Every structure is written in structure tokens, then in C-alpha cells.
Amino acid sequence: MKLLNYALILLFTLGMLSCGGGGDDPDETAPTVTFVSPSPNSSSPTAVTAGQELPFNISLKDNEKLQSITFDAPVTKSVNDFLTDFGSKLTTAITSSASIAGKSDATVTFNVGVLTGAPMGVYEVACNVTDASGNSTKATAYFEVK
């Protein structure tokens, strides 16, 4: 009988140890970024006339929680005045947008004015989105000043 009790205790102990609380698996899934506008397709950029506003509409999703969104100003052209001004307007616009931190699903929308006299051509804007675990995704959108 003692042997049976010891065997049961040993089985119970081994069973409890094998169920160890391995904890949550780390989040290794990067967020998704979908540009609705401007166009995510370099062969068909969104057309905008100098002096008009360019609408941004971006859908963000993460399997857990989003943390931040940043933008790189257009880099395709080298006209410094236009790029610097557009970059600062973009930064101001996104700062005033609704916060995405802590959400798993968000839409960011805002308009950025394109300067009158902006050089014609195709430009690209990169969007970097990071989740709460540090995973990040970069997406690029394209627009053409006509």
C-alpha cells in the first residue's frame, strides 16, 4: 500500500511539473499597414494639383496592440523647399491625428496641402508602424503633382 501511495504521489508531482506555466509566447507578428490613399502602387500614383490638398487614409492592424506611426517625407525629388515644407506639414498632420497607441485596429486620416508651385513629378511617402512588442512594418505610398 505504501508503494502505491508513493507511486501516486510521484505521478501527481510529475503531472504538475509537466504542466509548467510556460507563459505567453512573445509577439513576433508585425502590424499591417494599408494605404487607401495615396496609392500604394508606384505605377498608378494618386494625382494631386499643386496648391490642393492630398488626402491620406491609412488602415492599421495588429494582432495585439499598435504603438506608433511615423512618416518619411517624400524623397524622389530633390527640390529642398518643397520637401522640407511637405515633411513638416506631414509631421504636424499626423501629430494631430487620433492616437493609435494601445489599439489593435485603427484608421488614420488627414489632409496635407501641396504647395502652389510644387515641382511636378512622382513622389513617395513611407509610413513606419510599430506595435507594442517592437515589431514594425514599413509601407510606401505614391502621389504625382500635376
> Which of 22-26, 85-89, 96-100, 134-138 shows the highest mean pLDDT?
134-138
Contact 106, 67 (CB under 8 A): no
- pTM over 0.75? The answer is no
Contact 114, 145 (CB under 8 A): yes
C-alpha radius of gyration, the chain, whole number:
25
Task: Spell out the domains of the chain, with CATH numbers in brackets.
Answer: 29-145 (2.60.40.10)
d(CA 43, CA 41): 5
Residues in the chain: 146
Question: What confidence tens digit (pLDDT) does each residue in 66-87 have?
Answer: 988 888 765 444 444 555 566 6
Question: What confidence tens digit (pLDDT) does each residue in 2-41 have?
Answer: 554 454 454 555 555 555 555 567 889 999 999 999 999 9
Q: What percentage of residues in the chain have a pLDDT greater than 90?
A: 35
- Classify residue 109 by burial, with Cβ atoms within 10 Å: 0-12, 13-18, 19+: middle
Instruction: Give 78 or 137, the one with higher predicted confidence.
Output: 137
| Segments of 5-135 assigned E as strands | 32-37, 46-48, 53-61, 66-72, 105-113, 121-131
d(CA 89, CA 79): 16
d(CA 38, CA 90): 13
When pLDDT is averaged across residues 44-69 and rounded to a whole number, the result is: 92
